[in-house]
């Protein structure tokens, strides 16, 4: 009997510990808008997806944002748009540790692979994508809702925070999750997610207008040839060019000071 009582006490302690840990994950600043537990999330139309380029997103005018202590107001219509963008994934990490919110932070660029360094002037070639932890919807202090349209009940839903995290984890089976960066080498990606404006605080990869794709609801990794064809077609339609896409050797030297080579596709007109 004594052993059984001790076992029950230990089990209760572990459950309380796990509950406390779950309550501490996530963030606070505009958290409800990020994970879709805000009052205006019903104005985000997941059935209407806009095809855009990295440069299209960077060119959007930044709206007036709510006060820094307003964590539940979505700016409509600016933060109600769902975008699909072809980009390059340079690197990513989990925002772990005492100051992290458990999001996956993705540095996305155009074909230049140039991205904004921490606390530096934006390059005009990159933006941030974020995939929240689906188990942290209530935020760091449990102040926000626990249900979100970005976390559908169906496990095989096309647009889902959980599905996006699984996709990037499967693509990078040797990734670290201790707050360190995972080098993605500029791999082509297709991202679908909701537009969100994050006040600047020295983020790696931030855009000049502070636009992010947050949350990312889908991430796929097309082959180089497929990516080049889609990208070339989009550029032809947008700019009226009849050029062809050819592979050229490129590096991250301009952005990172390294000499690690990558294949990159550019338009030859």
More confident residue, 44 or 255: 44
**Which stretch of 64-68, 205-209, 235-239 has the lowest confidence by average pLDDT?**
235-239
**What confidence tens digit (pLDDT) does each residue in 127-136 have?**
999 999 999 9
Sign of CA dihedral 53, 54, 55, 59: positive
CA distances from 187 to 9, 18, 183, 252 (A): 50, 36, 10, 12
With contact defined as beta carbons under 8 Å apart, do 210 and 198 qualify?
yes
**What confidence tens digit (pLDDT) does each residue in 222-235 have?**
986 566 565 556 55
Domain count, the chain: 1
Q: What pTM was estimated for this model as a whole?
A: 0.77
**Which stretch of 145-154, 180-189, 254-263 has the lowest confidence by average pLDDT?**
254-263
Domain encompassing residue 113? 26-64+71-222
Q: Is the pLDDT of residue 57 over 60?
A: yes
User: In angstroms, rounded to a whole number, what is the distance separating the alpha carbons of residues 224 and 167?
Assistant: 18
Q: Is the pLDDT of residue 22 over 70?
A: no
Tell whether 208 is covered by a domain: yes
Rounded mean pLDDT, 54-64: 97
Tell whether 254 is covered by a domain: no
Percent residues over pLDDT 90 in the chain = 68
Tell whether 180 is covered by a domain: yes
**What confidence tens digit (pLDDT) does each residue in 148-177 have?**
999 998 888 999 999 999 999 999 999 999
Tell whether 216 is covered by a domain: yes
3-state SS, one letter per residue, for the chain: CHHHHHHHHHHHHHHHHHHHHHHHCCCCCCHHHHHCCCCCHHHCCCCCEEEECHHHHHCCCCCCCCCCCCCCCCCCCCCCCEEEEEEEEEEEEECCCCCCCCCEEEEEECCCCCCCCCCCCCCCCEEEEEECCHHHCCCCCCCCCCCCCCCCCCCCCCCCHHHHHHHHHHHCCCCCCCCCCEEEEEEEEEEEEEEEECCCCCCCCCCCCCEEEEEEEEEECCCHHHHHHHHHHHHHHHHCCCCEEEEEEEECHHHHCCCCEEEEEEEEC
Tell whether 33 is covered by a domain: yes
Tell whether 245 is covered by a domain: no
CATH of the domain at 138: 2.40.50.140
- The angle at the Cα of 145, spanning 140 to 151, to the nearest 5 degrees, equals 100
CA distances from 20 to 34, 84, 136, 231 (A): 22, 36, 12, 46
Q: Is the pLDDT of residue 17 over 50?
A: no
Tell whether 202 is covered by a domain: yes
Longest dimension (CA), the chain: 82
User: In angstroms, rounded to a whole number, what is the distance separating the alpha carbons of residues 61 and 210?
Assistant: 10
Q: Among candidates 132, 143, 97, 98, which has minimal Cα distance to 214? A: 132
**What confidence tens digit (pLDDT) does each residue in 63-74 have?**
999 998 999 999
Tell whether 258 is covered by a domain: no
């Amino acid at each position: 009997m004594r052993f059984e009582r001790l076992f029950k006490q230990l089990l209760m302690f572990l459950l309380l510990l796990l509950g406390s840990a779950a309550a501490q994950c996530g963030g606070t600043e505009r958290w409800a808008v990020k994970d879709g537990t805000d009052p205006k999330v019903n104005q985000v139309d997941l059935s209407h997806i806009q095809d855009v380029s990295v440069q299209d997103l960077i060119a959007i005018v930044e709206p007036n944002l709510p006060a820094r202590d307003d964590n539940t107001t979505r700016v409509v219509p600016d933060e109600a748009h769902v975008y699909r963008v072809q980009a390059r994934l340079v690197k990513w990490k989990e925002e772990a540790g005492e100051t992290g919110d458990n999001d996956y932070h993705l540095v996305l660029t155009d074909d230049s692979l140039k991205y904004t360094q921490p606390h530096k002037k934006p390059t005009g070639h990159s933006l941030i994508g974020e995939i929240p932890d689906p188990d942290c919807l209530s935020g760091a202090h449990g102040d926000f809702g626990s249900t979100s349209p970005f976390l559908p009940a169906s496990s095989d839903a096309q647009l889902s925070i959980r599905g996006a995290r699984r996709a990037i984890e499967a693509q990078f089976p040797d990734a670290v999750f201790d707050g360190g960066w995972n080098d993605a080498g500029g791999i082509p990606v297709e991202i679908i997610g909701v537009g969100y404006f994050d006040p600047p605080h020295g983020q790696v990869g931030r855009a000049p207008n502070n636009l992010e794709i947050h949350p990312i609801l889908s991430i796929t990794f097309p082959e180089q040839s497929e990516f080049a064809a889609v990208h070339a077609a989009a550029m032809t339609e947008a700019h009226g060019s009849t050029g062809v896409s050819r592979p050229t050797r490129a590096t991250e030297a301009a952005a990172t000071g390294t000499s690690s080579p990558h294949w990159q596709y550019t338009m030859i007109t």
